Chains A and B, each alone.
Chain A
């Protein structure tokens, strides 16, 4: 490692009411992959946005190759060779791949204002060849998978001949093979002397890719370590500032044999093909599979959000018709979407309003009057029980951190007191500390006799939490494994079983 490519000293950033960054130091060398970790809200993205010219620092200095710079807008950062791949994909879905890559610096014709799309397409093609990417420059972004869109983002960032590439959680939406492809590209860039800042919640992947790890907490830079000297436990304890109890499987007692939900032969086009499974009282059933395997589709079908063309659903032995989410709630099913901001919460409303939303009926007097005292006291209980960190229960949900928002969604269904809870990626984008609290909560719920479906793309989570796991691939259930027979390898094998014939290979337990 040579001298610093970029160096930040004493960076402060203040948002109304909070000090988001407090005297942050950071350093990146050429040809280095520098991982940046920390819980949500620790200030990682804020720090990177300052380098990228999206936010302006309130104090401190930034040096690029030894000379001080003052980045005031994204364009300027690009010109200095600093590119960011943002956490949320920043693409224009209606435009083509090439149009996205060259947005803001379209190749022009001689005539003023006229674009030259042909040159753009050729340029994009060249770029993809260099990166070994198989992408068509003229495809619309909307027609690409998330992983491919991510690749477009990275290609775009690199097309600026970036010397510094910042990636904010680039692997969150990728499958394992896609992550490998991404790492191949990262290693190639590192060899070419590009400095890479890699923000991630997946600590195990840092070992594979990062040279150094910097840990942030509460807006401060806590420490920077060489990766080979840093154990994951050490990193976690730096992140949370306390030791959290770690990860041996924590299955509660075996559930009873009473079948609460029995789903039989659910079909809908290509999305759902003959999906059958059941779940017992007090049981946690994990749903594993690759992205697009149909897990969310199953959940939404059971919840009445999308409907299905054939199949039956039995709840406690009774055949039921779930046509709308309202029916589902009436039958005691609650659904916690993977995209809580879009489907789980009314962000502009406060905690009380959100928790009482799924069961307003319980708080009505004489059919029209809302019992506000009732909602408030109930919400107070929920906030206390779930340990939601908030200054007041009338806090608007949008001001809470990701983990606390997720707890509000859980609180909503606790208030509704549903027996069957479907958690879709309950810990996505949530930091380690909040994660273990949510695991504990799921176990508590199961112990109290709730039946839980947990859809998750993180296998360790599935292995740790589930009594049984249902594995899906291309809309089919390819296997159901019990706790003592599930291993990462078996699940991955089932998750990639792409053949129709394999249906008879289903392993049924019980």
Chain B
């Protein structure tokens, strides 16, 4: 028997490879932009990048779980908006205390995710269709509930402070990293533990790898798949809190398009759309590649339209590299 696990060829094909490539790309981008523009490497800009990544990063965490099950969640962006609007309703309109309002907002997102899960697992609606429907439903509900107008958090400055203040800055003066960034990394750590250490994570991979085999092994696939979509809704809820705090308002018209950035981050990070493989670290790297690219190109005065075109190229390139890697 040959020892098959240690050859270079196997390393090249391993799913770690995509992450290594993504990380290298990220480093190249950072070095490249730093050389091209002194402003890019300033502390303020770095904080700006981190902050800009926080919302998309958190949304992408949930999308990672769904995509590893070989599903897709198109509703993460509008569920985020829905959560933000609900948070606004709870805190501003109803005067509920901030912590309860925040929990309520996250629960609203989780409920939308739970509904996705029921539609996909129990009603057997294809994930693309079920979550597309949820995209419209939450988009519409956000507009209906808010009466088409933004809900501001002017009376509750602490709400904004929660994400935009800096606990680190208080401990180490000068290092004013907003809490939103801490929340992103905290959420990522949580997601990583769930994915790699808990049975939910194990079944996420198992269902993506071979759902029927998982079912025949006595795993309650319906319940666990529902849990996966609920988790995606939960992270969308966290994203909703972050964006509402950042904008100091719940903007009901926002949200569509965010799901695509989230999926792009997941894919660039090496999670396979056909299911069974993927990682949180890859997704975070993917999210940073997108926001650094956007930030760097803006600093270099590349028009925003072109930034979008380039992001598209990167997504296609990343997936193509992944396909090359798998090919004999």
Contact stretch, chosen from A17-25, A98-106, A400-408, A474-482: A98-106
Q: Are B4 and A143 in contact (CB under 8 A)?
A: yes
Extra pairs beyond A113-B200, A115-B199 (19, CB < 8 Å): A74-B216, A90-B212, A90-B217, A92-B209, A93-B209, A94-B208, A94-B277, A95-B205, A95-B206, A103-B202, A103-B214, A104-B214, A104-B218, A105-B218, A108-B199, A143-B4, A143-B5, A143-B10, A269-B328
Contact with B along A250-282 (1 / 0, CB 8 A): 000000000000000000010000000000000
Contact with B along A194-227 (1 / 0, CB 8 A): 0000000000000000000000000000000000
Q: Are A93 and B219 in contact (CB under 8 A)?
A: no
Q: Shortest beta-carbon distance, B133 to chain A, in Å?
A: 25
B215 contacts partner chain A, Cβ-Cβ < 8 Å? yes
Q: Which of B199, B208, B209, B212 contacts A106 (CB 8 A)?
A: B199
With CB as the reference atom, state the residue of chain B lying closest to A109. B197
Contact with B along A63-75 (1 / 0, CB 8 A): 0000000000111
- The residue in A54, A74, A78, A269 that gathers the most chain B C-beta atoms within 10 A of its C-beta is A74
Q: Are A91 and B4 in contact (CB under 8 A)?
A: no
How far does the alpha carbon of A99 sit from the alpha carbon of B5 in the complex, in Å? 17
Q: Are B206 and A92 in contact (CB under 8 A)?
A: yes
B276 contacts partner chain A, Cβ-Cβ < 8 Å? yes
With CB as the reference atom, state the residue of chain B lying closest to A78. B218
How far does the alpha carbon of A98 sit from the alpha carbon of B255 in the complex, in Å? 42
A139 contacts partner chain B, Cβ-Cβ < 8 Å? yes
B213 contacts partner chain A, Cβ-Cβ < 8 Å? yes
Q: Which residues of A contact B5 (CB under 8 A)?
A: 139, 143
CB-CB nearest 5 A-B residue pairs = A75-B218, A90-B213, A92-B209, A94-B276, A94-B209
Chain B residues proximal to chain A, CB less than 8 Å: 1, 4-5, 10, 197-200, 202, 205-206, 208-210, 212-219, 276-277, 328
How far does the alpha carbon of A78 sit from the alpha carbon of B218 in the complex, in Å? 8
Q: Which residues of A contact B202 (CB under 8 A)?
A: 95, 99, 103, 106, 115
Tally A residues with Cβ within 8 Å of B.
27
Q: Are B276 and A103 in contact (CB under 8 A)?
A: no
Q: Shortest beta-carbon distance, B5 to chain A, in Å?
A: 7
Binding site secondary structure of chain B: helix
Q: Shortest beta-carbon distance, A322 to chain B, in Å?
A: 19
How far does the alpha carbon of A108 sit from the alpha carbon of B200 in the complex, in Å? 12
Q: Are B217 and A73 in contact (CB under 8 A)?
A: no
Q: Are A115 and B197 in contact (CB under 8 A)?
A: yes
How far does the alpha carbon of A91 sit from the alpha carbon of B219 in the complex, in Å? 13
Q: Are B199 and A91 in contact (CB under 8 A)?
A: no
Q: Are A113 and B217 in contact (CB under 8 A)?
A: no
A86 contacts partner chain B, Cβ-Cβ < 8 Å? yes
Q: Which residues of B contact A93 (CB under 8 A)?
A: 209-210, 276
Q: Shortest beta-carbon distance, A151 to chain B, in Å?
A: 13
**A-B CB contact pairs (8 Å), 10 listed:** A74-B215, A74-B216, A89-B213, A90-B213, A92-B209, A95-B205, A95-B209, A99-B202, A108-B199, A114-B198
How far does the alpha carbon of A261 sit from the alpha carbon of B190 in the complex, in Å? 62
With CB as the reference atom, state the residue of chain B lying closest to A143. B4
How far does the alpha carbon of A91 sit from the alpha carbon of B217 in the complex, in Å? 9
Q: Shortest beta-carbon distance, A192 to chain B, in Å?
A: 23
How far does the alpha carbon of A73 sit from the alpha carbon of B200 in the complex, in Å? 21
Q: Are B210 and A90 in contact (CB under 8 A)?
A: yes
Q: Which residues of B contact A103 (CB under 8 A)?
A: 202, 206, 214, 217, 219
Q: Are A73 and B209 in contact (CB under 8 A)?
A: no
Q: Are A94 and B200 in contact (CB under 8 A)?
A: no
Q: Which residues of B contact A115 (CB under 8 A)?
A: 197-199, 202
- The residue in A75, A93, A113 that gathers the most chain B C-beta atoms within 10 A of its C-beta is A113
With CB as the reference atom, state the residue of chain B lying closest to A306. B328
How far does the alpha carbon of A402 sit from the alpha carbon of B16 in the complex, in Å? 40
Q: Which residues of A contact B210 (CB under 8 A)?
A: 90-93
- The residue in B198, B215, B218, B219 that gathers the most chain A C-beta atoms within 10 A of its C-beta is B218
How far does the alpha carbon of A269 sit from the alpha carbon of B215 in the complex, in Å? 39
Q: Which of A74, A94, A113, A134 contacts B198 (CB 8 A)?
A: A113
Q: Shortest beta-carbon distance, A288 to chain B, in Å?
A: 24
Q: Which residues of B contact A269 (CB under 8 A)?
A: 328
Q: Which residues of A contact B209 (CB under 8 A)?
A: 92-95
Q: Which of B10, B197, B200, B219 contacts A104 (CB 8 A)?
A: B219
Q: Are B216 and A90 in contact (CB under 8 A)?
A: yes
How far does the alpha carbon of A78 sit from the alpha carbon of B215 in the complex, in Å? 13
With CB as the reference atom, state the residue of chain A lying closest to B3. A136
Q: Shortest beta-carbon distance, B245 to chain A, in Å?
A: 29
How far does the alpha carbon of A135 sit from the alpha carbon of B213 in the complex, in Å? 21
With CB as the reference atom, state the residue of chain B lying closest to A116. B197
